[in-house]
Structure 1
Amino acid sequence: MPNVSSDPVFQLIKLLTASEKRHFRLYTNRQGSRDGLKFLQLFDALDNQAQYDDEKILEQVPSIKRVQLANLKANLYKQLLSSLRLYQASQNLDIQLQEQLGHARVLYNKGLYQQCLKMLDKIKTVAKQGELHHIALSAIDFEKQIESQYITRSITGRAEALSEEALGLTFHVSQMHALSNVALRMYGLYIKIGHARNQEEYELARTFFKENLPLLDLSTAGFMEKLYYYQAQVWYNYLIQDFKACYRYARKWVNLFEANPAMKNSQITLYIKGLHNLLLSLFNLQYYSRFEEVLRTLEAFAADPDRRSSLNIEVLLFLYIYTNRLNAYFMRGAFSEGVEEVPELLEKLDYFQPHLDPHRMLVFYFKIASLYFGSGDNQTAIKYLNKIINTAAPNLREDIQCFARILRLIAYYEAGDDYELEHQIRSVYRFLGKMNDQQQMQVAIFRFLRNLGGITPPDLKDAFRNLKDKLMEIAANPYERRPFLYLDIISWLESKIDNMPVQEVMQRKFLGMK
């Protein structure tokens, strides 16, 4: 019986590009050993499999005995990583510098101290330019080791200069870690509680942020210190729903890269993450003209094939570009236009699915369902909402689960399916009863839909108006705004009051804002 296709060697081989496979074969052949031949045979056998299967490997490569397979796979894994490290060295400055540190060690072991020091000085200079301070510190530590042996007879003051240089870099590294820790912990707090839901959670976030954010002199701070400072500010302000401040710091984040163009290549993931956060803040502010401009910048950056140097970058570009393309359709109310892009999105989702966490998949399904709902295709909207509701881990993203159920109720109502609507009302009632975080908007909509069957047709418009007034009152509370970021229920109510498609209501609002 075939093993589950989660074997680490098999997974790695399946992610190799054609040029990486070619490089590995050349790398293995250079070793010129019988083991090298076995590596290639095992590599080819795994490469040709659709699913990992021990028995088929042993059939295909009779020279490999069952007792040898585990060790050969472990060695193949090691050789693959070594080959990839060499292949990717030109694209990763840190790999190049770590390799040069190894070369410096070889020169030191041979007693070639001056050559070693010369190489370490170059490593240190390049590492500082690339904001790789930890590597610069490693080079300085090595220099200090050599100087402390009194074998180079260096110029007077060399020891003091090295000590001061090390202290300066250590301070910058310490600041970087402190700032990145705050940014990470603010993100962790967001994952735990989402946006601040009340004054208590606001004070919790504010107190934690103020107490842990280190003092930073931006005039003397390095690139990475500034970057982590802006990142921490973005997450803090996003958590407390101060989207104007979130936009301000996301813009500083992106502007930092614009002022240091070389860092776009060495820190690609942080650059595109900055663009994504800037787009997210613009979406929350509904600032479409600027949103469109930044999205074009992201797409132009992604269009350069030299930017796509790893699968990790490919995944992030897919995630950020398609998330924001969908958001652009929502901002314009162009749901029918957005639906046309769904087949291509689904194809890419299927390709990247192994690299996306379940939360990301749920968000994409919710956005797709919202597109179909906005375009008037309620049955297809229900299909994608069911993917969220029937997910194997229903405790993931409780908020999305709740909004998916409420939107499905509205879709059943729009589709005229009274029987299913009645059944789903009972299901949503049970779900809301189990929720840890019920907000006023969710409860108000549910109560309205539950009583909808008892409202006579002549009274429907008044009922819609009353619900709209109630929700507008709820939305005025800053701690109750979060649900409205997920579900534009106000526009739907206006569509029922004005007797026009929700798509037209949102397009009218968009044109009124321009």
Structure 2
Amino acid sequence: MANRFTDILFQLVKSLEKSEKRNFKLYIKRSSGNEDLKIIELFDALDKLQEYDEALLLRKLPSIKKPQLSNIKVHLYKQLLASLRLLKSTESIDMQLNEQLDYARILYNKGLYQQSLKILEKLKETAKSNYKYNFLTQVIAWEKKIETLHITRSMLEKGEVLSAEANEVNARVDMVARLSNLALQLYCLYIKNGHARNAKEEESVKQFLHDNLPANAHLQEGFYEKLYLYQSYNWFAFICQDFVKYYRYSQKWIDLFNEQPFMINVETGYYIKGMHNLLNAHFDLRNYRKFDETLHQFEAFAESPIAGKHDNHRVQTFVYITAAKLNKHFMWGTFTEGLSMVPEIEAEMAENEMFIDSHRILVFNYKIAMLHFGSGKYDVCIDYLQRIINNNVDLRYDLQCYARLLHLMAHYELGNYEIIESLIKSVFRFMAKMENLTIVEQEMFKFLRHSFNVSARKLRPEFEKLLQRIKLFEKSRFETRTFAYLDVISWVESKVYEKTMEEIIREKYLESKRKLEEDESNKLAS
């Protein structure tokens, strides 16, 4: 997907809502003089452009010469941010805290240090109740400065208290920093490399966790300490494909917010990410009912004022809920039904292009390709896979590998035998180079090579043999990623039982649902 938003000022203007644009115009009229008429002209011109074109922009602005444009753009950018800061100051606890701290500084500089101390004292309580320890360090530093430079009536008892508070807060800030660093580094490992491909890679991740996890991390009681600890174990388990542990820590992540609901408003982004991970855990474990319950809960949250307060939260909920709905079609075996989602997904992706990162776009293209493959629309599947294969983004080697494998299978289904032999060699080399070949994938390549020499009449027994071989690895941890990205077993079963892949997966879901209902009925009867 081409990026039409190449200029940062243009990006900012295009991200504004009607109310934000109106507020900006009022802000400029109140706070600026005639010299700012040019930034209004520039703002209006940018707002009307569909994509950034500097030559066209200058033609629309005869009062602005090319040498002036750069400075006027910088001035407009600053003024836009200033107006947004005023408009949005009540929407974020961090912005509110910073605003109050600015007031405390102003009062102090006016010599009104007692008034400044009162604001700082209130700030401290607010920061503590919202677990904003990084901010607390600034507040305590200002209190210490005032107490050091001025003789206050509380000086004698306050000095010891401030010293103790500073030590406690610094210790907590250090712990939060170490745990958040660990969570981020593990997440980056996954984004770059995907799941651990063998015991050696798993051991490497285990060692990394062991070397970087603070000794007393499990004893911490603070919200952020627990949040980053759960995140760390969450990503560790996901990388190692320990999906039970992945589920356990995803649930702990969300339970932390459920225990302190006000933190959903404070850290909305982390709550959204936690819900996404919990849905993924249910998907990986095929917890059909819990998946449905969690998805309904997430969809209800998406309609709440909290989720719609910021573009970032709105887009993230769209991305994660849409991914979950696609996963639901994969689990339920309703690929054809899922195709109806595609036009809406593409429209939303185009509308929110500058808010969605390239990694998410790759994932969506792969999931949409899977929908078409499962529906038997192999030619369209190939079109979507080409978007991934031709993408130069240095992310998700595993996704690149499975896109190529699915691409090969789609050509096999279409009977494009004249190019399959060269494709097999190309995909095999790519996956081997990335050290991404599992035993199941090697069996797939062997079968595809061998199938050229097998008549159509004898092909079904060969599929039966392949099914027997790969079924042995269905529960193998280092093979599960193959089945998570691409349900190879269901595809082979469709050939053995002469049904569509969609029918095979649908039957598995219905059988699982029947067993669950039967178990529940037996429990009630006993």
| TM-score band w.r.t. shorter chain | over 0.9
Task: Name the SS of the counterpart of 1:376 in structure 2.
Answer: coil
Give the TM-score taking structure 1 as reference length. 0.94
Aligned to 2:483: 484
Aligned to 2:107: 107
Does the C-alpha gap of structure 1 residues 63 and 343 become closer, same or farther in structure 2, counting only changes over 3 Å? closer
Instruction: Give structure 1 stretches of 5+ with no counterpart.
Output: none
Task: Name the SS of the counterpart of 1:340 in structure 2.
Answer: helix
Q: Contact 1:125–1:136 (CA<8 Å) still a contact in 2?
A: no
Give the TM-score taking structure 2 as reference length. 0.92
Task: Name the SS of the counterpart of 1:210 in structure 2.
Answer: helix
Does the C-alpha gap of structure 1 residues 409 and 198 become closer, same or farther in structure 2, counting only changes over 3 Å? closer
Q: Contact 1:394–1:401 (CA<8 Å) still a contact in 2?
A: no
Q: Contact 2:242–2:477 (CA<8 Å) still a contact in 1?
A: no
Aligned to 2:362: 362
- 1:180 aligns to 2:180 (yes or no): yes
Q: How far apart in 2 are the matches of 1:63 and 1:500?
A: 69
Q: How far apart in 2 are the matches of 1:157 and 1:238?
A: 50
Q: How far apart in 2 are the matches of 1:490 and 1:217?
A: 41
- One-letter identity of the residue aligned with 2:476: N
Q: Contact 2:315–2:355 (CA<8 Å) still a contact in 1?
A: yes
Does the C-alpha gap of structure 1 residues 116 and 54 become closer, same or farther in structure 2, counting only changes over 3 Å? same
Q: Contact 1:29–1:37 (CA<8 Å) still a contact in 2?
A: no
1:48-72 CA-to-partner distances (Å, cap 9, x unmatched) read: 2223344444444443333322211
Q: How far apart in 2 are the matches of 1:376 and 1:435?
A: 29
Q: Contact 2:482–2:488 (CA<8 Å) still a contact in 1?
A: no
- One-letter identity of the residue aligned with 1:128: K
Q: How far apart in 2 are the matches of 1:196 and 1:58?
A: 53
Q: How far apart in 2 are the matches of 1:53 and 1:199?
A: 52
Q: How far apart in 2 are the matches of 1:468 and 1:386?
A: 28
Aligned to 2:256: 256
- One-letter identity of the residue aligned with 1:231: Q
- One-letter identity of the residue aligned with 2:292: E
> How many percent of aligned residue pairs carry the same amino acid?
44
- 1:268 aligns to 2:302 (yes or no): no
Deviation of 1:185 (Å): 1.4
1:328-382 CA-to-partner distances (Å, cap 9, x unmatched) read: 1111111111111111111112222333333322221111111111122222222
Task: Name the SS of the counterpart of 1:451 in structure 2.
Answer: helix
Report 1 or 2 for greater relative contact order, CA contacts < 8 Å, sequence distance ≥ 6: 2
Aligned to 1:316: 316
Q: How far apart in 2 are the matches of 1:170 and 1:505?
A: 57
Q: Which shows bigger deviation, 293-302 or 215-224?
A: 215-224
Aligned to 2:523: none
Deviation of 1:86 (Å): 1.2
Q: Contact 1:195–1:241 (CA<8 Å) still a contact in 2?
A: yes
Q: Which shows bigger deviation, 214-223 or 154-163?
A: 214-223
- One-letter identity of the residue aligned with 2:126: V
RMSD: 2.0
Aligned to 1:78: 78
User: 1:123-202, aligned counterparts within 5 Å?
Assistant: 123-154=123-154, 156-202=156-202
User: 1:213-232, aligned counterparts within 5 Å?
Assistant: 213-216=213-216, 221-232=221-232
- 1:13 aligns to 2:10 (yes or no): no
Deviation of 1:476 (Å): 4.3
Q: How many residues align?
A: 510
Q: How far apart in 2 are the matches of 1:324 and 1:350?
A: 19
1:86-120 CA-to-partner distances (Å, cap 9, x unmatched) read: 11111111111111111111100111111110011
Aligned to 2:495: 496
Deviation of 1:457 (Å): 2.8
Deviation of 1:135 (Å): 1.2
- 1:352 aligns to 2:352 (yes or no): yes
Q: Contact 1:45–1:57 (CA<8 Å) still a contact in 2?
A: yes
- One-letter identity of the residue aligned with 2:23: H
Does the C-alpha gap of structure 1 residues 229 and 106 become closer, same or farther in structure 2, counting only changes over 3 Å? same
1:422-443 CA-to-partner distances (Å, cap 9, x unmatched) read: 5544543554464443222222
Aligned to 1:328: 328
Aligned to 1:469: 468
Aligned to 2:439: 440
Instruction: Give structure 2 stretches of 5+ with no counterpart.
Output: 514-526
Aligned to 1:507: 506
- One-letter identity of the residue aligned with 1:254: I
Task: Name the SS of the counterpart of 2:149 in structure 1.
Answer: coil
Q: How far apart in 2 are the matches of 1:204 and 1:225?
A: 24
Q: How far apart in 2 are the matches of 1:32 and 1:196?
A: 57
Q: How far apart in 2 are the matches of 1:395 and 1:139?
A: 42
